Amino acid sequence: MNIKFNNEDTPKFDLDLQLTQSYLIDLIEKEEKMAGEITVVFCSDEYLLQLNKEFLDHDYFTDIITFDYCDNNIISGDIFVSIDRIHYNAKKYNVGFNIELHRVLFHGVLHLIGYNDKTSGEKKEMRSKEDYYLNEFLKN
């Protein structure tokens, strides 16, 4: 399998890993890329904060950090997702946990594909892509 899921210091939660894996592979293929080796690590706020400080020199909570190991059109990387932030943001934005989790996973894979979110235009494009894939995969 190209996409592996791990838990690091967070309780297991209900997620169909095989279905989520197929969503991520389909997203990559729809973007005309190939899935390489991707590891998704579900973790706590504190675990992700440490990574954020150590590798990005950022001292704040975030929902995701993506490490890009892509090689041309082969999409590979490590994606760390704070389950604490997913719960928090799902409540904040009044969406289900599953929707917010997949939005963040799609966001991470879109970063690996090459989309950015530094400028307002990039953020708008990223959000549009996230919404497209949420509708494509989860709201049928």
> What's the rounded Cα separation, in Å, for the pair 13 and 1?
21
CATH number 3.40.390.30 given to 3-137: yes
The token duo for 58 is 């950022």
Domains of the chain, by residue range, sit at 3-137
pLDDT of residue 140: 53
Q: How many CA atoms lie within 13 A of 73 on its CB side?
A: 6
User: Can you give the pLDDT at residue 11?
Assistant: 85
DSSP conformation letters of the chain: --EEEEEESS------HHHHHHHHHHHHHHTT-EEEEEEEEEE-HHHHHHHHHHHH---S--SEEEEE--BTTEEEEEEEEEHHHHHHHHHHTT--HHHHHHHHHHHHHHHHHT---SSHHHHHHHHHHHHHHHHHHT--
Which residues pair with residue 80 across a beta bridge? 41, 65
**Both structure tokens of 22:** 């197929």
Q: Provide φ and ψ at 19, rounded to 5°.
A: -65, -45
Predicted TM-score (pTM) of this structure: 0.95
At 47, list the tokens: 């675990």
In this predicted structure, what is the pLDDT of residue 27?
A: 98
**What's CA 46's distance to the chain center, in Å?**
18
Q: What is the pLDDT along the chain (140 residues), one digit of tens a residue?
A: 589 999 999 988 889 999 999 999 999 999 999 999 999 999 999 999 999 999 988 898 899 999 999 999 999 999 999 999 999 999 999 999 999 999 999 999 999 999 999 999 999 999 999 999 999 999 75
